[in-house]
Amino acid sequence: MLLCTTYRRFPGDYTTIVNAPRRVCPGLRFIKQNVPEVEILEYPMWRQYVKRLKQGWDVVGFSFYQNELTEIHKMIAEARRQGIKEIWAGNYGALDYSIPPVVDRVFTGPAEDDVARVFGRRVRNEDIQHPAMMVHFSIVPGLRAQTFGLLYTAHGCPYKCSFCQTPVFERERFTINLESIERVLRYYKKLGITYLFPMDELFGIFPKFTDELTRMFARYRFHWWAQSRASIFTRNLDDWYERGLRITAVGVESMFQSSLDGMNKSQNIEEIYEFIRRSEEKRALFRIGYFMTGHEGMTAEETLEDALCMRRAGFDTHTVSVMTPFPRTDLWERIAATRGIIDYEPRHYSLQHLVWNHPYITPGQMRYLQNYIIKILVKYSDFISNGISRLIWGGLRKEGFEMLWRHVLKGPVVANVLKDKKLYFFNDCESKS
């Protein structure tokens, strides 16, 4: 059984927000950790994928996203051409309506137990073991500044934002067992990693579990990055900050309450301002705000006004996306039935294109507006100056020389030595290349 991601069209394809090619697939790493019989292939070049297929497999499965559909359909066709009898599909891209007709099995949500059953075993949610995986962070592309130890500690989300696929994809809500996570933390500590990145869709939705988890982060003296709601951050800010929280990512989406209500965000603007006020008091805390353009009731002028409100709110940097309906979400169903979806090109589902019939803004106007708003909100100079002032100088005032040594001097050295593609699975008790 071979499980793989989409292929890379060129070596630097699929660059992430941290200026590094996407090289590790957490979902496949989790399956390999818990079902060691499978083989995985992460982001190969096309020739590498074709060569691997020739080894002969009973099953080939794919983990992918919506904007990778073109490449995945090509990979499926090649697998069929080489005589692979059974094709599987998983991850958020498998929710697309074009996938079930061309594969033999579609997986929704975590697939550790489903894959284990093929080999006559079971992996209950409470028994899932966490693998080791990492990503290199670069301020300047190509120059590693830090390595983040990746974590995925909790599945699911209790909120029902109309644009989000998580409630559809992850119908079960559960946490990864703490013993398994602690084993990974010990390994990261041994490697010299000092920063963690929990990739949970919404960090902190299991209060008791998160309290134990963040105490564990503090015990091993990690700094960490998390993404969550402003209200959850504000409620836990004092404790989490003392336990090492240093980078926060907040899904703001809009500074207009009417837009938040329209997407069923269950968030009010005052929660955003309260988070900014409280977090401003914390030295060495860097704040990222996620902003969304293309709200259904907004004109171009109102969208620009919304972006200026976001700019004035006080985040240290921002990410900007275009409201995009994804298959099987409430937004997709409503837009398809009323406004109409006008662009089905998979690569345009990268959160940077207007793919539906907006009442006030054309796709061409949105491209211009998006680029203009990115210039307002995503300034490299702000990222550097705010990052240095809050993360470094603020950290020095709070932690002194220890922060300078562990996170400024030691971090880049470790990052340029570690191999992020190296596979380490604890049930093997050995490293594999």
* pTM metric for this prediction: 0.91
Query: Cα–Cα distance between 185 and 340 in angstroms, integer?
Result: 47
Q: Are 6 and 27 in contact (CB under 8 A)?
A: no
Tell me what pLDDT residue 151 has: 96
Per-residue tens of pLDDT for the chain, all 433 residues: 999 999 988 776 655 544 455 788 999 999 999 999 999 999 999 999 999 999 989 999 999 999 999 999 999 999 999 999 999 999 999 999 999 999 999 999 999 999 999 999 999 999 999 999 998 877 666 677 788 999 999 999 999 999 999 999 998 999 999 999 999 999 999 999 999 999 999 999 999 999 999 999 999 999 999 999 999 999 999 999 999 999 999 999 999 999 999 999 999 999 999 999 999 989 889 999 999 999 999 999 999 999 999 999 999 999 999 999 999 999 999 999 999 999 999 999 999 999 999 999 999 999 999 999 999 999 877 777 777 677 776 666 667 666 666 666 777 777 778 887 777 777 643 333 3
Tell me what pLDDT residue 118 has: 93
Tell me what pLDDT residue 142 has: 65
Q: Are 329 and 168 in contact (CB under 8 A)?
A: yes
Tell me what pLDDT residue 135 has: 87
Residues of the chain with CATH 3.40.50.280: 2-128
Assign domain 134-415 to its CATH architecture.
Alpha-Beta Horseshoe (3.80)
pLDDT single digits (tens) 106-118: 999 999 999 999 9
Class of domain 2-128: alpha beta
Q: Which two tokens stand for residue 398?
A: 């709070």
Tell me what pLDDT residue 413 has: 77
Tell me what pLDDT residue 82 has: 95
Tell me what pLDDT residue 393 has: 63
Residues of the chain with CATH 3.80.30.20: 134-415
Tell me what pLDDT residue 252 has: 97
